[in-house]
Amino acid sequence: MSSAAELSGPESEPGHPADRPYPSGIPEATVARLPVYLRALYTLAERGVSTVASDELARAAGVNSAKLRKDLSHLGSYGIRGVGYDVEYLVYQVSRALGLTQNWPVVIVGAGNLGRALAHYGGFVTRGFRIEAVLDTDPFLVGGNVSGVAVRHVNELETIVTSKNIAIGVIAVPVGAAQGVCDRLVAAGVTSILNFAPLVLNVPEGVDVRKVDLSIELQILAFHAQRRSAARYEQAPDQAAAEA
Amino acid sequence: MSSAAELSGPESEPGHPADRPYPSGIPEATVARLPVYLRALYTLAERGVSTVASDELARAAGVNSAKLRKDLSHLGSYGIRGVGYDVEYLVYQVSRALGLTQNWPVVIVGAGNLGRALAHYGGFVTRGFRIEAVLDTDPFLVGGNVSGVAVRHVNELETIVTSKNIAIGVIAVPVGAAQGVCDRLVAAGVTSILNFAPLVLNVPEGVDVRKVDLSIELQILAFHAQRRSAARYEQAPDQAAAEA
DNA sequence: TTATGTGAACTAATTCACAGCT
DNA sequence: AGCTGTGAATTAGTTCACATAA
């Protein structure tokens, strides 16, 4: 979201995939699903599966197979007709498309429950990311250790971001502190931000922000839940009333 | 996502908004933005703003004003031409559309860092939701207290869901336990699930699942970050190389 | 055979631009 | 005079269905 549209850029003429790392025109909706495919592929690989057809992979990823094939076709033609996809090779291609062949250093700001949960989550994030630092202001936390990473004071934010060349920052601080932390991250050179604080961050052009927001997700669920019960009521008002 | 498409159902003929709670055809993309508008409206209300124009509200929500107006138009015609929207009235209408005029009881399964973070997050969720129970298996946690809510053993899941009529469940357990918890929630009658575990949950038709996944978000950021640096390289290879 | 890759058809979402109301 | 509400135009995303290649 946010600056995603601009980043997709003008459609470059197709036909020379060798010029650039990638044909440059992978649709946003596809990008958002690639990580899901990647996870499914890892699961298959762990089970020792070496080849997979689009139906099966699609089922594991919770999408239909036409969508999966169309998505993968944006990365290139990596399947074998009549057979399927080589799991290991596809893992590599999807990883490469997502930019996970390099190891992105990440800073997590906020060592509260959420920050710690994210750090522990590390197990999953491993491939492609490493937590370079966890920052907080609380003197009880600073100097401590979260999931093997030392907690340092937010004062050091600029030094750390600069010296470690950090491009990705995670904001896990209370809402009141979030914009300030964001500004500092951006000023220090961070261009990708994952925001867990419930507010719309203000960032300059060229900075990519994604947000994760519990209350938004709950509210979307409530909407559907409400519609479900309303629908039930219309079909059989008496029964629905009895249930309630 | 997930079962959202089916839930939207066939387009009902327009023209009698009084029959049903809602015209029944609010687009998914709109539903996903309503919570953002609602938050912006609350912020304005707290500041004592009583009327707001679409431009301003749109800016606060991080969207453009045409989209905002189109979104709101799906709920009804609640603005005043030449003036704007009454903040308080719009809060009510958006809340009603989202189903937040009732108070949804929620169960959080998992009292680890993530579960606790979610429970504390409660402050924001307040309006429209209440945490009815937090469950875990860890004997060190069971019997304790998270954010004013007693932590109870997962054994009690069925009893609690049934007796409290819980329709929304949050899964904040390790990935290995998630599908099992999901199955129990569904069997007990939960029809809306917010999943934080990094896997695709298997649920029967009619159950609505939304997922929140750190690693997916990070991977999407990595994709854009990669494209950004690739673009920079193409424009000025020497300079980009020097930066790295 | 069998399953990919993809044009073509379709559906959803966004943006434009202005008529219509206050 | 100003801002909403919305048809119309545009763009993005999905699904179909089959030609193509192993």
Spatial CB neighbours of B167, under 8 Å, sequence gap ≥ 6:
A225, B104, B105, B189, B190, B191, B192
Q: Does B100 touch chain A (CB under 8 A)?
A: yes
- What integer pLDDT is reported at residue B199 of this predicted model? 95
Does B34 reach chain A within 8 Å, measured CB to CB? Answer: yes
Smallest CA-to-CA distance from A172 within A213, A130, A206 is with: A213
Q: Is B241 part of the contact surface with chain A (CB cutoff 8 Å)?
A: no
Alpha carbon distance A151, A140 (integer Å): 10
The predicted structure's pLDDT at residue B2 = 36
**Residue B137: how many CB atoms within 10 A of its CB?**
15
- Sequential pLDDT tens for chain A (244 residues): 333 333 233 233 333 333 333 345 899 999 999 999 999 999 999 999 999 999 999 999 999 999 999 999 999 999 999 999 999 999 999 999 999 999 999 999 999 999 999 998 865 566 899 999 999 999 999 999 999 999 999 999 999 999 999 999 999 999 999 999 999 999 999 999 999 999 999 999 999 999 999 999 999 999 999 998 877 666 666 666 666 5
Along the 244 residues of chain B, how does pLDDT read in single tens digits?
333 333 233 333 333 333 333 345 899 999 999 999 999 999 999 999 999 999 999 999 999 999 999 999 999 999 999 999 999 999 999 999 999 999 999 999 999 999 999 998 865 556 899 999 999 999 999 999 999 999 999 999 999 999 999 999 999 999 999 999 999 999 999 999 999 999 999 999 999 999 999 999 999 999 999 998 877 666 676 666 666 5
Q: What percent of chain A has pLDDT over 90?
A: 79
Considering only CB atoms, A121 lies closest to which of B60, B129, B214, namely B214
With distances taken from each CA to the C1' atom of nucleotide C12, the closest residue turns out to be: B27
Q: Please check whether strand C approaches the CB of B236 to within 7 Å.
A: no
A134 CA, C12 C1': Å apart: 41
- Indicate which of B95, B103, B227 best probes the interface with A, i.e. most A CBs within 10 Å of its own CB: B227
- The residues that bridge with B80 in the sheet, in sequence order, are B84
Taking an 8 Å cut-off on Cβ atoms, the answer to whether A226 and B113 are in contact is no
Each residue of A188-241: pLDDT tens digit?
Answer: 999 999 999 999 999 999 999 999 999 999 999 999 999 988 776 666 666 666
Q: Is the CB of B26 under 7 A from strand D?
A: no
H/E segment holding residue B108 = strand B104-109
Chain A and chain B share a number of CB contacts under 8 A equal to 211
Kindly determine whether the C-beta of residue B1 is less than 7 Å away from any atom of nucleic acid strand C. no
